[in-house]
Amino acid sequence: EIVLTQSPGTLSLSPGERATLSCRASQSVSSSYLAWYQQKPGQAPRLLIYGASSRATGIPDRFSGSGSGTDFTLTISRLEPEDFAVYYCQQYGSSPPSFTFGPGTKVDIK
Amino acid sequence: EVQLVESGGGLVKPGGSLRLSCAASGFTFSSYSMNWVRQAPGKGLEWVSSISSSSSYIYYADSVKGRFTISRDNAKNSLYLQMNSLRAEDTAVYYCARDLLVHFDYWGQGTLVTVSS
């Protein structure tokens, strides 16, 4: 079973700053199988990035994803007030089919 | 507009049962795999179960295998989760989510299940 680790646990930044979130897998993950979600308090998660680097519909281009193998990154180029939230990475495992989430990174206002 | 609306949550005693429902609209429900994902209070996300479009393939997380049963009714555009032998650790918000092969593109707002005596 692949385990996802996210770092840092909390990232304290100011609006306008750049945020770099890391997701590390215990084994190599196909880039096609790596996604990122944003969750705000009291809300359902929202898909941001799929296939490691493709933005979901309606997601602003300040969000970008990159990486391969065991190391993946979500970057928010310039934080907007609405971007302060928890971010989860997720991978799909095919044998047997299952989905695993990382523990999350909270981006809060400094 | 894609909408997923969960219902059926509530307070149940340990060992009890509960059936969750998810009503889907705004897309061709019978064409998509569907999932249940849960989130314990203050914790992260945990995938629970998946069902293929025609119910041919069903998968469960080890934590619920043998206790939970996922099902769907394509004629009613509805997804279900029958939860038996509930434990305190099953307390969570349960989300239904549409499966786009390897990730979830739409989520409902969730329904809270509390297991407590």
Per the CB < 8 Å rule, is B109 touching A32? no
* Contacts with B45 from chain A: Cβ below 8 Å: 37, 39, 45, 88, 90, 101, 104
pLDDT in tens, B52-105: 999 999 999 999 999 999 999 999 999 999 999 999 999 999 999 999 889 999
Per the CB < 8 Å rule, is A45 touching B103? no
The mean predicted confidence, pLDDT, of chain B is: 97
Task: Give the pLDDT of residue A95.
Answer: 82
* Contacts with A47 from chain B: Cβ below 8 Å: 103-106
Which contacts qualify for A45-51: CB closer than 8 Å, 24 or more apart?
A45/A88, A45/B45, A45/B95, A45/B104, A45/B107, A46/B107, A47/B103, A47/B104, A47/B105, A47/B106, A48/A74, A48/A87, A49/A74, A50/B100, A50/B102, A50/B103, A50/B105
pLDDT in tens, A83-106: 999 999 999 988 888 999 999 999
Per the CB < 8 Å rule, is B59 touching A96? yes
